[in-house]
A = this chain, B = another copy of it.
Amino acid sequence: MPRKANFSDESVYAAVGAELMERGTLTVDGLKARTGLSIGSIYHRFGSREGLMAATWLAAVSAFQDDFHAAIEGADLDRGVAAALATPRFCRRKRALAVILACCRRSEFLGAKTPAAAQEKIAGVNERAAARLRAFASRVDRPLLACRLAIVDLPVAAVRACLPGDIPPEVDGYVARCYTALLTA
């Protein structure tokens, strides 16, 4: 029934990621300059700056979690390495979204002006990921911190060390070797 938008949500998210990468923070005017979207449109579609950031982050994290959950769901020690490798692989396939996850701090998208619906989704997404990690740790009987380092923090650090450039293939080997070192005592 209504008019259709000039710019897809995806193109907006990509622009947000580019701004975050280049300037370290996002301003509404900066997004307007980069995309051509007017201030009014931005506020109509996202409600506030925090709403925009939350929508962007949620889009990125849910794309990532599609891969991540598929890998960690029910995994044992041998198959868990795929969850650690999900990070560099995602980073290669969806660079723009990965940049958002790597560059965006929690306080940027989670605050008083974050729409309630987005706040709930964020809490849900975080809790679900934490639960999967806890379940994995107890399934393989290893300390939670070691699992978190092997599957989350270390792969993220490896990828961050390469951004904004490409993620070279040997990174996967490094991630896998650390996984083994951390989780097979």
Which residues of A pack against B, CB within 8 Å? 23-25, 105-108, 143, 145-146, 148-149, 153-154, 156-158, 160-162, 168, 170-171, 174, 177-178, 180-182
What is the predominant secondary structure among interface residues of chain A facing chain B?
A: helix
Q: Judge whether A149 and B143 touch: CB under 8 Å.
A: no
Other contacts beyond A145-B161, A178-B182, A181-B181: 12, CB < 8 A: A24-B106, A24-B108, A145-B162, A145-B168, A145-B171, A146-B174, A149-B161, A149-B174, A153-B157, A153-B158, A154-B154, A178-B178
Chain B residues lying within 8 Å of A170, measured Cβ to Cβ, are 143, 145-146
Closest-CB distance, A129 to chain B (whole angstroms): 14
A148, closest chain B residue (CB): B161
| Docked CA distance A178–B149 (Å) | 10
Tell me which of B23, B149, B157 contacts A149 (CB under 8 A). B157
| Docked CA distance A144–B178 (Å) | 17
Tell me which of B23, B148, B157 contacts A154 (CB under 8 A). B157
Chain B residues lying within 8 Å of A161, measured Cβ to Cβ, are 145, 148-149, 153
| Docked CA distance A164–B143 (Å) | 19
17 contacts between A and B (CB under 8 A): A24-B106, A24-B107, A25-B107, A145-B161, A145-B168, A145-B170, A145-B174, A146-B170, A146-B174, A149-B161, A153-B158, A153-B161, A154-B154, A156-B157, A177-B181, A178-B181, A181-B181
